[in-house]
Amino acid sequence: MDSIVFSRSMAFVKRHLKVVFAFSFLINLLMLTAPLYMLQIYDRVLTSRSEQTLFLLTLIALGSLATLAALDVVRSRLLVRIGTCMDQWLAPKVFSLAMKNGVGARPTRDLDSLRTFFAGPTILAFFDSPWIPLYLLTVYLLHPWMGHVALAGAVILFALALLNERSTKLWLIESASNSAMADSFAEASSRNSEAVISMGILPGIRNKWSKFHRDALGFQAGASDRAGFISASAKFTRFSLQIAMLGVGAFLAIEELITPGAMIAASIIMGRGLAPIESSIAGWSHGINARKSYKNLKDLLMQGSVSDPLPLPEPKGAVIFDNVYAGPPGTSMNTIAGVSFQVQPGTSLGIIGPSGAGKSTLARLMVGIWFPKSGHVRLDNAELSQWDSDKLGPYIGYLPQDIELFTGTVAENISRFGEVDPAAIVEAAEIAGADQMIRELPTGYDTLVGENGSDLSGGQRQRIALARAFYKHPPLIVLDEPTSNLDANGEALVRTAVDRMRGAGSTVVIISHRPAVISAVDNLAVIQRGQLTHFGSPDEVWPQITRRATNTTEPDLQMAMRSEV
Ligand code: ATP
């Protein structure tokens, strides 16, 4: 679907760029007004001394200059609107995909850069370049020798433009990638600013950021130095060409092969005609950035499915793992291997195991954040990959290990920034044991939280995030370490909440290191080194792992029993 939106947007852009192309032709044609007017004045008016001709010519020239100005305005506006429309169509998709792929704000910055390119002067130079032959032809018509001078100038300037591309491209790409690294490093560090400041990590982090930043500036300066040299050479070439043109023109005028008017007109026409090449050299870096942004956006949007997945019925909450191998996206690593089990709808499953065993991997697979590299993860009978994540979301309650609340009110956070249903919000908060705590906040459910909101304690955030997971009784609830910030009282509350949600028909999967929280689950799964080693009712599994832990020297299992569970 995203790829279709991208293709349609690009088809729209291309269609309208053709109109801009046509406008550019008319604009470049009308650009000849001033030199041709001058030619007529020198050659016709001054020799004939006809005021009537002067008046008429002036009127025609002013008319065509007014048309030129109007076309120029329309062309610029058209380009700005093409950029804005493209942005409006793509921005929601780009934002969603950036979030789903965890690539931060880079794609939205790419979209900004592409839109600004449409509104900037460089694109105009690119549109004016194809009409250079029109100017050359006009100079040739005035006299072939002057045409040769203009043609030689165009060839030299083109060569300089190519040299500019070749010599700055890699530097600009390196600069952009270092700058992106510096930005994302700064973003990540500011998210962990407390740890950064409290443990004296700041100098080290600053040094690392400075390196990226310095490299970005270094490459940028290298590219600018080269571009500056080539720009100056282009300017020198243009001025020299103008002198050459006047020199050749004067010679031809002395020989009475052309009039003085033709000499001046040729010089002006050549200057106008070659100006876009010089502007392209000056604005080349914008062109390169825009091309890179376009490529990034294309890669991001074209990776989506071609068609909208078929709408699926509301799931009952059965979870099926069938010989699943999976790991972090973008890597070939499998953090779980060959895992198979089933969870019946309306039952609860506890998952235990040592740190790094793959428990959170299972949770991410269950809620459709990660997908298996082989095998199948199904919700009821449908592969999770068949779901559109926006449609699946309301059927899932997920409490990740790292809790993030978003800038908004408590009510908005619990209702997942969808339609606010006060009764459902309060019910979810009550089940999560958060209602009383929220009412005691300065403005209760309307209190602003998240990055720009009130400071909440870890426990308060965890309870609000739990309420968000319970909101509107989703058929599948996955809680990854739901009590990591809670006291014994909070643990008991979570246990009751899990029972209530299960009683109401939800399937509840709970990952915890605390025996009290998983004591009442229907089934228990033990994960070690990415493998499912035990699965069954707690009555079956506990004796097995206790017996193995006392009889075995297997370090992971002992660790699971001693320090983890
Ligand atoms: P814990 O109890 O400490 O939370 P866990 O059992 O939940 O651990 P996982 O988070 O599933 O373990 O991680 C399993 C393995 O996958 C670990 O070795 C971890 O280093 C690796 N891993 C997890 N997430 C990523 C990621 N985004 N990129 C690379 N490796 C990852």
Q: Calculate the average pLDDT of the chain.
A: 87
pLDDT at 563: 44
Q: Tell me: pLDDT of 429 over 90.
A: yes
Q: Tell me: pLDDT of 562 over 60.
A: no
Q: Are 395 and 460 in contact (CB under 8 A)?
A: no
Query: What's the pLDDT band for 454 if we cut at 50, 70, 90?
Result: low
- Gyration radius from the chain CA atoms: 34
Better-scored residue on pLDDT, 104 or 414:
414
Question: What is the Å distance from ligand 1's center to 357 Cα?
Answer: 7
Q: What is the pLDDT of residues 205-237, one digit of tens each?
A: 888 899 999 999 999 999 999 988 988 998 899
Best of 324, 331, 333, 335 to mutate for ligand 1, by most ligand atoms within 8 A of CB?
Answer: 335
pLDDT at 305: 52
Residues 6+ apart with CB under 8 A from 246: 263, 267
Best of 103, 325, 360 to mutate for ligand 1, by most ligand atoms within 8 A of CB?
Answer: 360
pLDDT at 555: 43
Q: Tell me: pLDDT of 554 over 50.
A: no
Cα distance between residue 176 and residue 170, in whole Å: 10
Q: Tell me: pLDDT of 553 over 50.
A: no
pLDDT at 488: 79
Q: Tell me: pLDDT of 180 over 90.
A: no
Task: Give the C-alpha distances (Å, rounded to integers) separating 462 from 358, 362, 521.
Answer: 22, 21, 21
Sign of the Cα torsion 547, 548, 552, 555 reads negative
pLDDT at 106: 81
Residues 6+ apart with CB under 8 A from 456: 405, 449, 464
% of the chain surpassing 90 pLDDT: 47
Sign of the Cα torsion 494, 495, 498, 500 reads negative
Give the mean model confidence (pLDDT) for residues 4-30: 90
Give the mean model confidence (pLDDT) for residues 250-269: 92
Question: What is the Å distance from ligand 1's center to 359 Cα?
Answer: 8
pLDDT at 336: 94
Phi, psi torsion values for 346, nearest 5 degrees: 75, 10
pTM of the model: 0.68
Q: What is the DSSP string of 185-236?
A: HHHHHHHTHHHHHHTT-HHHHHHHHHHHHHHHHHHHHHHHHHHHHHHHHHHH
Q: Tell me: pLDDT of 565 over 50.
A: no
Give the mean model confidence (pLDDT) for residues 424-452: 90
Establish whether residue 271 lines the binding site of ligand 1, counting it when its CB lies within 6 angstroms of any ligand atom.
no
Closest atom of ligand 1 relative to the 513 alpha carbon? 2
Q: What is the pLDDT of residues 485-505, one digit of tens each?
A: 788 788 888 889 999 999 999
Nearest residue (by CA) to ligand 1, atom 26, is 328
SS3 per-residue string spanning 86-145 = HHHHHHHHHHHHHHHHCCCCHHHHHHHHHHHHHHCCHHHHHHHHHHHHHHHHHHHHHCHH
Pairing, β 396-399 against β 408-409: unpaired
Residues 6+ apart with CB under 8 A from 558: 549, 552
pLDDT at 548: 56
Q: Tell me: pLDDT of 1 over 70.
A: no
Cα distance between residue 194 and residue 132, in whole Å: 59
Q: What is the pLDDT of residues 347-374, one digit of tens each?
A: 999 999 998 899 999 999 999 888 999 9
Give the mean model confidence (pLDDT) for residues 282-310: 77
